[in-house]
Chain A
Amino acid sequence: MNDGWRLRLQRIGAIVYKELRQLRRDRLTFGMIAGIPLIQILLFGYAINTDVRGLAAGVVDLAGTQLSRRLVADAEASQVLGEVVRLPDPAALEAALRRGELRLGLIIPADFERRLAEADPARPAVQLLIDGTDPIVGNAARALGELWAEGGRRVFAILTRFNPERRSSVFVVPGLIGVILTMTMVLFTAVAIVRERERGNLEFLITTPVAAAELMVGKVLPYIGIGLIQVTLVLALAVALFHVPVNGSLLDLYLAAGMFILANLTLGLFISTVAQSQFQAMQMTFFFFLPSVLLSGFMFTFEAMPAAARHLAELLPLTHFVRLSRGILLRGAGLAELWPELAALAGFAAALLGLALLRFRKRL
């Protein structure tokens, strides 16, 4: 216990160096470091796209005023609608919808401006016809319709903050960084110590002067670096391919990510002190991964979940990181404003490191 810090650091350094060497030779893990972020971002960015864009639409403008033309122009600008086809009368619109040529249509009555001024809910200013056979189209178009049907001057007030074009990639990427880190960081460390146990390395290692805490720190350090590389990779792709904005400070984002990575790594360490085999470690990781993804607010709106789920979600590091990264990247918030989330991550990391150290004895 009375060795100098120099020796301690040397031993930690030896473990870090060894770990990096092994990592470089472990093709699968090495591939996962770059592969998981790459696949995930392309998957979420392109394939799982809940944006509804370029819907084929028709308009019957019976008013023909300046205001009605502005309404049509605004609808086109929202990007929900594709090119808007002008049609002579409501019957032609109905026929085109039936044939499936159009997904939705707008009918602007001749007395459009008067109806707008009256704002009588019984006499809406604009009629929106929707092809209800596709639920996503329906939802998107209905949301559009609701904005307009509110009457008054709000007709043109289609104001969506932070993601004006409502692109899902912008919404998804900040959380996705967290999902990718949860998936890889927990797994890597969970497996790291169990593997040494399984391969018999631990029996030798624990008869050396390496202390439990040194082993843990040495195992965790390389992955902090790897996690930050993953963050950089995802962010670079997100900015280059999907034009995700970086409104806040990058330093804040990396600090938040660093704390989040630490939280996940300590969880991985804890798992590795409980699991008996690499397979068990993987099972436990996925047992944790699923609720993280579902409850963190990454998939579903946090406020829309039942109270019990929200309480549970507060215990998951991903919940806090999703708030941090959305806040920093999209709203341009700083860590000074978001500190409770950072504190929650720090608390989680400290608690799990404590648990892991309690469980890990230098014994068999």
Chain B
Amino acid sequence: MTEAVIEARALTRRFGAVRAVDGLDLEVPRGVIYGLLGPNGSGKSTAIRLFCGLLLPDAGEVRVLGERLPEGAEAVRRRIGYMTQRFSLYEDLTVRENLLFVARVYGLGAEGPARVEAALRAYGLAERAGQFAGTLSGGQKQRLALAAVTLHRPPLLFLDEPTAAVDPRSRRDFWERLFELADGGATLLVSTHYMDEAERCHRLAFLDRGRVVMEGEPRALIEALPVQVLEVDCARPRRAAAVLAATAGVRGVSQLGARLRVLLERDVAEPEAHLARSLTAAGLPPAAVERVRPGLEDVFVAHTEGRRP
């Protein structure tokens, strides 16, 4: 079972008193788009840097593409592409100059310029080739960055919040490219804090305070959810939220406009009536209570709520 391209065991990295990554276990199978989902500060970037050999762990171990880090770091570097969270190409070089630089650095030799031209076309940057990278829009910069890290055709790609500064349309286009790369046989590790993006991944891991709290295929995770999800329509949602949070069996309440989204333990029978009774008793009879299809966000809330201080 060495089909895993990334294997992390009890990986830990501290910064002073902060445990950015804290006993992380992860196994990423070959050929998938693997999502690393978690809120800001949950250790996504740190985990990726550990996988790329840019940071040394304080404890635990990592194997990437069969190589143990840090010993195999140099060998791994030739076979990975790392798209940093922040744009890390040269803003004072043109789009084409940036790609040519990357091609030379990876030793693509005579083949380099042809690959650069192909990448410019494939990523819709042909008309921008002579423009300084610093003057590109957010979406164009992301495409350039992706073109740069795939120029040497690595079998493993790390993408750290690749669509953070990108409008929804460009995001969709960007994900099209990621699927193409996966179809071509590459493995992609993508960090994100967007739930809709996470749902596009083949597999994903939820990160919370440096630990994997849950792992699996998005569908399976949702189906295995130990709670049921209801939406409550009521007059004074903030008051009602407080009442519901104190109701037996409720694992979490969040407000969506005028509605409340309630996570309720699965074994509560007649859940609509259960919540309606509780609200009516507090003098806040609800206009409607209905069961809804759970999403990934509910999975995340169900597993992290209650652990938070």
Contacts and interface: CB of A to CB of B under 8 A. Distances in A.
Nearest to A8: B107
Nearest to B134: A199
Contact of A208 (B93, B102, B109): B102
Contacts of A11: 104-105, 107
Interface stretch (A13-21, A104-112, A220-228, A316-324): A13-21
A150 B244 CA distance: 109
Contacts of B87: 200
A301 interface: no
Interface string A293-304: 000000000000
B106 A203 contact: no
B52 interface: yes
A160 interface: no
Contacts of B91: 199
A204 interface: yes
A206 interface: yes
B17 to A, nearest CB: 19
B74 interface: yes
A135 to B, nearest CB: 51
Interface in B66-112: 73-74, 77-78, 80-82, 84, 86-93, 97, 101-102, 104-107, 109
B107 A203 contact: no
Contacts of B84: 200, 203-204
Contacts, number: 79
Contacts of B55: 363-364
Interface in A16-57: 17-18, 21-22, 25-26
Contacts of A21: 93, 97
Nearest to B84: A203
Contacts of B93: 18, 21-22
Contacts of A17: 101, 104
A1 B90 contact: no
Nearest to B107: A7
Given A21-B93, A363-B56, A204 B82 contact: yes
B107 A209 contact: yes
Interface in B29-58: 49, 52-56
A25 B82 contact: no
Given A11-B104, A13-B104, A209 B88 contact: no
A206 B92 contact: no
B109 A10 contact: yes
A7 B107 CA distance: 6
Contacts of B86: 200, 203
Given A26-B92, A200-B87, A207 B54 contact: yes
B106 A208 contact: yes
Contacts of A26: 92
Given A18-B97, A22-B93, A209-B77, A200 B88 contact: yes
Given A1-B74, A208-B77, A203 B105 contact: no
Contact of A201 (B74, B89, B149): B89
A55 B88 CA distance: 63
Interface in A192-229: 199-210
A37 B120 CA distance: 42
A363 B73 CA distance: 10
B251 to A, nearest CB: 38
A23 to B, nearest CB: 10
A360 B12 CA distance: 23
A201 B90 CA distance: 7
B97 A201 contact: no
A215 to B, nearest CB: 10
Interface string A308-337: 000000000000000000000000000000
Contacts of A205: 88, 105
A48 B101 CA distance: 46
A206 B54 CA distance: 8
Contacts of B81: 207
A6 to B, nearest CB: 9
Contact of A209 (B52, B53, B78): B78
A205 B52 CA distance: 12
Given A200-B86, A207-B80, A208-B105, A25 B52 contact: no
Contact of A363 (B54, B74, B78): B54
Nearest to A24: B92
A22 to B, nearest CB: 5
Nearest to B52: A207
B297 to A, nearest CB: 30
Most buried by A among B49, B73, B102, B107: B107
A364 B20 CA distance: 15
B104 to A, nearest CB: 3
Contacts of B82: 203-204, 207
11 contacts: A14-B101, A18-B97, A201-B90, A204-B82, A205-B88, A205-B105, A208-B102, A209-B105, A209-B107, A362-B73, A364-B49
8 interchain residue pairs of minimum CB distance: A14-B104, A204-B88, A207-B82, A200-B88, A200-B86, A7-B107, A208-B105, A364-B54
Interface of A: 1, 3, 7, 10-11, 13-15, 17-18, 21-22, 25-26, 199-210, 362-364
Given A15-B105, A18-B97, 11 more contacts: A1-B74, A3-B107, A11-B107, A18-B101, A21-B93, A22-B93, A200-B86, A200-B88, A204-B84, A205-B105, A207-B81
